[in-house]
Amino acid sequence: MLYSRLQRTISHAVAVSGYGFWSGKPVRVEFRPAHVGSGITFVRDDQGEYAKVPARVAYRQDVPRRSNLECNGVSVEMVEHISAALAGLQIDNCEIGVDAAEMPGCDGSSLAFVQALDSVGMTEQHETVRQLVITKPIRLEKGESWIEARPAINERFRAEFQLDYPDDPIIGQQSISLAVSPDSFRQELAPCRTFVLEREADAMIRQGLGTHVTPQDLLLFGKYGPVENRLRFNNECARHKALDMIGDLALSGFEIIGQVIAYRSSHQLNAALTRELLTQFSDAAPLRATA
């Protein structure tokens, strides 16, 4: 018999403030309780109470290195770390009020969001969670990268990520395989930070992006390792990629039951699998963006 659980929301509102990595703009994020069955929705408080963006892959914009959403001209940017925190803690219904487009980078991980959500606690609701059950393997490839979904084996959801930087041995080959639960997400993935190579950071700065970000704000890798920072795990880069993948898959709007294994996957490839899972396995048609 397939395990099921009741939907959950947070017990009280709680806020996190910071600055966007890309824009440098200050932003306040307020997590709010939401009605059963309402899912995860962003609200641009600075644009009014009806400026809403459902956290669904149908509204995803094709941009590099992050996951942005737009619905009816309302946009939110770099949502994957928030989406991962909510999915990892099994929070199914939540309204997220923000006063700017880009989410706060904090330390490049989901830790600040998890700590804020844990501080107010969760409340069970009266309906069971909607599940997307993977019943057959699906594999998507792009160049040397691939991502694959498989049926679950003795677990509800397992995430595996294989990272390979053949030209950058300071990162090299790393992997993580984890049965995802609220406890394992808190301990093993939430603290893991986004990372960038020094040459990539230099190229972005020349484009006027991330000019305010310091090596203490994320993991910046130079020739000999993290610059002015220390790793929290030996395979922190692979763990962060798994975190990103969980955040991208959460845009399905379902709790996924199965295994997802990825090799050098990107946000774009993660999103492509999310769309394919909805097509193949969901009992409801995916939401479509409207003009």
Q: Which residues are catalytic?
A: 267
Residues in contact with 71: Cβ distance below 8 Å, sequence separation at least 6, in sequence order: 52, 53, 54, 59, 289, 290
> Are 249 and 62 within 8 A, CB to CB?
no
Strands 131-133 and 60-61, sheet pairing: unpaired
227 by Cβ neighbours in 10 Å (0-12 / 13-18 / 19+) ranks as: middle
Which tokens sit at 38?
């309402």
Task: Annotate 49-97 with DSSP letters as a single string.
Answer: TT-EEES-GGGEE--TTS-EEEETTEEEB--HHHHHHHHHTT---EEEE
Contact 106, 112 (CB under 8 A): yes
- DSSP bridge partners of 133: 257
Residue 60: closest CA among 264, 250, 196, 284: 250
Residue type present at position 184: S
Amino acid at 163: L
Distance CA(238)–CA(3), nearest Å, equals 29
Nearest C-alpha neighbor of 36 from the set 80, 81, 77, 95: 95
Give me the amino acid identity at 155: E
